[in-house]
Amino acid sequence: DTEVTQTPKHLVMGMTNKKSLKCEQHMGHRAMYWYKQKAKKPPELMFVYSYEKLSINESVPSRFSPECPNSSLLNLHLHALQPEDSALYLCASSRTLAARTDTQYFGPGTRLTVL
Amino acid sequence: DAKTTQPNSMESNEEEPVHLPCNHSTISGTDYIHWYRQLPSQGPEYVIHGLTSNVNNRMASLAIAEDRKSSTLILHRATLRDAAVYYCILKQAGTALIFGKGTTLSVSS
């Protein structure tokens, strides 16, 4: 099973709402990632977890709060978002963060619209 | 992060070979060259990777220049399903994939 699942597929939220995106993998991977992708642009790295600890935060605003409750699960908590945060949010996982040869497996993404 | 340069777009006909170039003149000796592609409305998917030698797998071939300053992804027989954005990425230890603009490949029947 080389699948990364993301829920929900689509999410519409207001600027005052609190919501969460969920990502799951059962490949035994110990590195998990969040990316943000605007239309017609490449994915931009947001956060990286390695062995359930936050390893990389690419200066993401605090209205995005990641959480890695266990090695299979990654959440992204959203609060007080702005319309410009509307994008496709991609989750990925890899065996480790350290190896230069490890493949990153991506989920299909959550399409977020902020009204 | 070491940078890569790719053409914005390329066109191909179905069942013809496609050569997608990538320049990475500032590559370090330990960087691996990875290629990913993103089909419409999907997350990126792994295509191939290599260090120095040419590599083949069921999806594609990767030809790496002797000085490692450039590489070429080769799709041997393009199909309509190969229409995607192709990303050439240099991977260092302890880092995540950092995507550049990539090459949008169009395939015509």
Question: Mean pLDDT of successive 10-residue segments in chain B (109 residues)?
Answer: 89 97 95 97 96 94 97 97 97 94 97
Query: What band does A101 get if pLDDT is binned at 50, 70 and 90?
Result: very high
Cβ–Cβ under 8 Å, residues B103 and B20: yes
Chain A residues touching B42 at Cβ < 8 A = 108-109
For B43, nearest residue in chain A (alpha carbons): A108
Chain A residues touching B43 at Cβ < 8 A = 4, 90, 92, 106-109
Contact (CB<8Å) B96/A98: no
Mean pLDDT of chain A: 96
| Whole-number Å distance between alpha carbons of B91 and B94 | 9
* Residue-level length of chain A: 115
Q: Does the structure show a pLDDT above 80 at A1?
A: no
Q: Does the structure show a pLDDT above 90 at A22?
A: yes
pLDDT of residue B2: 62
Report the share of chain A in percent with pLDDT over 70: 99
Q: Does the structure show a pLDDT above 90 at A51?
A: yes
